[in-house]
Structures are given as C-alpha cells and as structure tokens.
Amino acid sequence: MTLVLFDIDGTLVDAHGLGRRTIESALGEVAGRPVPSARVPFAGRTDPAIAAEMLRQAGFSGERHAEMLSRGLAHYTALMMAHDGPVDLLPGVESVLNRLEASDGVALGLLTGNLEVTAYAKLRMAGIARFFGFGAFGSDNPDRYGLPEVALGRARSVLGAHVDPASCVVVGDTIHDVGCGRGAGMRTVAVCTGPVPREDLVAAGADLLLEDLADAQPLYRFLNL
C-alpha cells in the first residue's frame, strides 16, 4: 500500500489569499483591534501556529493570548464556513487525483496545516473533497512536524492495515512539507505552484521536484504506476 498525503494550499488549490484575509478578520474581530499578518510567515505552517504568532506580535500574552487564540480560531472557522470561494484547482490536480484513486495499492490522504473543518471547506469549494476520507490537520497538532505521525495513525485505522512510513509520499509546495515528510521517513514530492522559490525546494531535499501537476508522468513513474 502506497499512501500519498497531499498538502492543500499551493499544492491542490489556489484560494487567492482567502485564509490570510479571513484569519486577520477573525482575530481582529475577537481582539477588538487590528491583528495584522504582514510580518508572519504562512507557507507550510499550521493555522494555530500562524494565529498564535499573529497574536503575540499584536501584544497578547499569557491567559489573554490563550483566550484570544481559542476564540479567534473558532471565529475563523465560522467565517470560513460562510465563504463560497473563490478556490481554484491548480493545473492537473483533478486528473492526478482521479488516476491515483483508480490505482490499485494507492490510498489518498491529507497532510495540511489547515484546521480539519476549514480544510474540507476549501476542498468542497474546489470540488475535490470526495477524494479524501482522512488526513492530519493543524487542529491535530500546531507543530507541522508532528502531523505525519497523526496521518499514519489515521491511515492505519481507516485502511485497516499497517502503513509503513517508507511507503508514504508527501506532496507539497513548501520546505515544511518536505521537511516533515523527510523527518518521518517518508518520501517527498515538491511542486513549484506555491510561494516558495524552486531553489529552496531543491535545497530542502525533495525526492522529486515538479513544476506543477499538469505533467504528472514523472509522479506516476515515481509511484511505480
């Protein structure tokens, strides 16, 4: 069994900054003043880690920080659920997912910094939620590097079989997708469809580098399909 774990933003979809705008709005509304995100890196990080850093930079600490984080993420979820896009599929994505879903010995999952509820909201907006029955999310662990272990546990439970890290492939667009996969003993595929420069993905040590998923033959060869 080969388990292919996909990141969402910049890998499967382009949400045109929806997450950044919505988390700024949500945190600002619960804080009663602006909580800007301009100095906070988003790429490859979990939503709880992003929100926590935004609040710290805005001057919140201690119990007040914890309260604002909890309320802010709940409000962010509600605002995201009220959106209907735009969330667009990136080139080649639906074709790749159809091919992998139809392949014997391949299972699909998610490994994303999005909260579980908002992850599926984005996938529904893009029309591809049906491909993913399980995954690991920012709501499981704010540390992106702890998510592969969560994904393995979920896969074993859902698939009813042992899944070895060496049989897993992480597909993502940031150095953290590559880093968390490699750190867990998984193979990694990097796509240059997100905000991270190609040379940074090369330096991160991805096992396969793709410009996008439109020309997926190298991916299929990598997966022995």
Query: Both 209 and 113 in a single domain?
Result: yes
What's the average model confidence in pLDDT over 69-91? Answer: 95
CATH of the domain at 134: 3.40.50.1000
Q: pLDDT at residue 84 above 90? A: no
| Half-sphere exposure of residue 37: CA atoms within 13 angstroms, side-chain side | 20
Per-residue confidence (pLDDT) for residue 10, from 0 to 100 = 98
Per-residue confidence (pLDDT) for residue 92, from 0 to 100 = 98
Query: Both 116 and 134 in a single domain?
Result: yes
CATH of the domain at 42: 1.10.150
DSSP state of 143: S
What's the average model confidence in pLDDT over 84-88? Answer: 89
Percentage, residues of the chain above pLDDT 70: 100
Percentage, residues of the chain above pLDDT 90: 97
Query: Both 121 and 72 in a single domain?
Result: no
Q: pLDDT at residue 41 above 90? A: yes
Quote the pTM value.
0.97
What's the average model confidence in pLDDT over 70-99? Answer: 96
Q: Which domain holds residue 36?
A: 18-82
Q: pLDDT at residue 85 above 90? A: no
Query: Both 26 and 112 in a single domain?
Result: no
Phi/psi-derived region of residue 187, left when phi > 0, alpha when psi is between -120 and 50, beta in every other case: beta
How far apart CA 183 and CA 146 sit, in angstroms, is 10
How far apart CA 96 and CA 220 sit, in angstroms, is 9
The secondary structure element, H or E, covering residue 171 is strand 168-172
Last residue within a domain, chosen from 82, 103, 132: 82
Q: pLDDT at residue 132 above 90? A: yes
Structural domain count, the chain: 2
- pLDDT confidence tier of residue 164, bands split at 50, 70 and 90: very high
Last residue within a domain, chosen from 54, 82, 110: 82
Query: Both 22 and 11 in a single domain?
Result: no
- As a whole number of Å, the end-to-end CA separation of the chain is 12
Query: Both 109 and 31 in a single domain?
Result: no
Q: Would you call 40 exposed, middle or buried from its count of C-beta atoms within 10 A (0-12, 13-18, 19+)?
A: buried
- pLDDT confidence tier of residue 83, bands split at 50, 70 and 90: confident
Query: Both 93 and 169 in a single domain?
Result: yes
